[in-house]
Amino acid sequence: MGTPVVLLDVDGVLNPFERPHRGFRRHRCSPDGVTYRLWLYSGHGRMLLDLVESGGAELAWASYWCDAANVWIGPRVGLPDLPFVPIPGFPGLTEGVSLGAWKARHVAAWTDGRPFVWFEDEPDATDCVAGEPGVGDHLLVAVDPRTGLTEEHIERASEWLRALTR
């Protein structure tokens, strides 16, 4: 079965599209010379680290940010350098079908049968990842991109990880 992994998206999950509460701060990030303005909450790091510690899991990025998340996002939310799913740029609807399907293809390949929790905001990702060959037990926690990751999402993932080890 392998050690479970908790996969973390950035945009719409850690960086909600609307400022959800006062704990979020605005940050400028410039990977590859392009400047983005993000809402980030420093408390997310502790919440996620507690989740993986209590659930006997590992944490990894599953975002188009790839390794740039370790430079621009992790330090601002309190996360160490993490492994990442190498998700290439979306090739467009002809080859990639949808953003959720494209990411799901790469997540399924990277997890290689390991159980995983995936915090994701793409609406079709749940159906797409379930249809990938060889995908292991998984829970896709659908996050509303307007509000981002909440304690309720973390608790749902925690319950799933606890059930997995029983």
User: Tens digit of pLDDT for each residue in 46-78?
Assistant: 999 999 999 999 999 999 999 999 999 999 999
- What is the token pair recorded at 3? 């050690």
Q: In this structure, are residues 160 and 117 in contact, taking their beta carbons and an 8 Å threshold?
A: yes
Range 24-40 average pLDDT: 92
- What is the token pair recorded at 78? 């309190």
Rounded to an integer, what distance in angstroms lies between the CA atom of residue 161 and that of residue 109?
21
Which residues, including other chains, have CB under 8 Å from residue 97's CB and lie 6 or more apart? Answer: 128
Is the model's pLDDT at 163 over the cut of 80?
yes
pLDDT of the residue at 93: 72
Sort residue 127 into left (φ over 0), alpha (ψ -120 to 50) or beta: alpha
Average pLDDT taken over every residue of the chain: 93
Please give the torsion angle defined by the CA atoms of residues 86, 139, 121 and 96, in that order, rounded to the nearest 10 degrees.
50
State the pTM of this model: 0.93
24-29/5-8 β-pairing: unpaired
